[in-house]
Amino acid sequence: MENKLVSSWYNLQTSVPSSYVQPPERRPGNAVLATDLKIPVIDLGGEDRDAIIRNIIKSSEEYGFFQVINHGVGEEVVEGAMRIFKEFHAMPMEEKIRESSKDPNKSCKLYTSSGRNCQDVARYWKDSLQHLCPPSGQFREFWPQKPDGYRNVIEKYTEELSKLGQKILDLISEGLGLGPKYFDGDFSSDPLVISHHYPPCPEPSLTLGTSSHKDPNILTILLQQEGITALQVRKNEAWIPVEPIPNAFVVNMGFMLQIISNGRLIGAEHRVVTNSGTVARHTIAYFINPTKETLIEPAKPLLSANSPPIYKSMTFGEVLGYFMNKGPYFEPEMRL
């Protein structure tokens, strides 16, 4: 069972298998929820650019998360991507594996649980499809060809997300005083898209869809399926549920932005809980990544005698290695 996709056996279970049961201190049933707090919502279509920048920086300092509306990505593009990924995860397991196994370097892959190299405390209740999606079109030949139209639909979606991501990064870099194009080039040239499929779970208080972690990248733009609240952000030892907003994206700071801003912006901890309903939950995560050779360090314009660097300088490839081998608790490796 552990080597099979969750979607291939979950409906045969009346309880969570022992390998998926989280330790008591990690179980969502034992957590404190901050239902009185909400992740900020930012209207990118507003006319006051300075106000938008201030709201983005404030949200990134206080929460590490915000949602964006009026973001410029067409509704038909968003709906098309969600539809095609749902269709992919609904295919027979053998067909999904065949369609996602074309890349000898495994930049395109289908996996279950966390997909990391390290041994997790418990497994996670999800299946995921991931592949690189640079604007150059490189790696497209390794993308799935089924369902019909997959490549065209996802190419359009990732092109639009690339534009949105660069717009948000320009606003962030301007708000930090780094100039509007600081994150162009190597800082954002290796994006990755991951489609997560979280089947219904018979005992959601015992397991997790995704562990508590900080994303090891620059920025993440997430599309949530409407109607199911499962993403939670940690603040002051409590968890804030992030409710889906129609045609909105959730944006969160990656830990690389926390390093570059020398701790000013928060790469906030977040996790995904499961649900016991009859409908699976789907999300699409667009990760803005640097090249593996890119040096990640506090931005020099932000440093001074009163504000010395608090993080080491490392290549992104080295940071990613720590994350894949040590799991979500890799942050201490980065501090001076």
Q: pTM, whole model, 2 decimals?
A: 0.96
Note the pLDDT of residue 324: 75
- Checking 243-249 for CB contacts under 8 A at 24+ apart, the result is 243/38, 245/41, 245/67, 245/69, 247/69, 247/75, 247/78, 248/41, 248/67, 248/68, 248/69, 248/71, 249/67, 249/68, 249/71, 249/73, 249/164, 249/221, 249/222, 249/223
Note the pLDDT of residue 327: 66
Query: Which regions of the chain are under pLDDT 70?
Result: 1-3, 116-118, 327-329
Note the pLDDT of residue 146: 96
3-class DSSP state of 111: strand
Note the pLDDT of residue 80: 98
Note the pLDDT of residue 4: 87
Q: How far is CA 67 from the centre of its chain?
A: 13
Please state, in angstroms and rounded to a whole number, the distance separating the CA atoms of residues 62 and 37: 12
Note the pLDDT of residue 1: 47
Q: Where are the domains of the chain?
A: 6-334
Domain 6-334 has CATH 1.10.760.10: no
- Checking 8-16 for CB contacts under 8 A at 24+ apart, the result is 8/93, 10/125, 10/199, 10/200, 10/201, 11/199, 11/200, 13/202, 14/202, 15/202, 15/203, 16/125, 16/201, 16/202, 16/203, 16/206, 16/207
Strands 65-69 and 41-43: parallel
Query: CA-CA distances (angstroms) from residue 155 to 81, 86, 94, 222, 306?
Result: 9, 16, 24, 16, 46
Please state, in angstroms and rounded to a whole number, the distance separating the CA atoms of residues 316 and 18: 35
From the list 175, 197, 172, the residue with the least C-alpha distance to 183 is 172
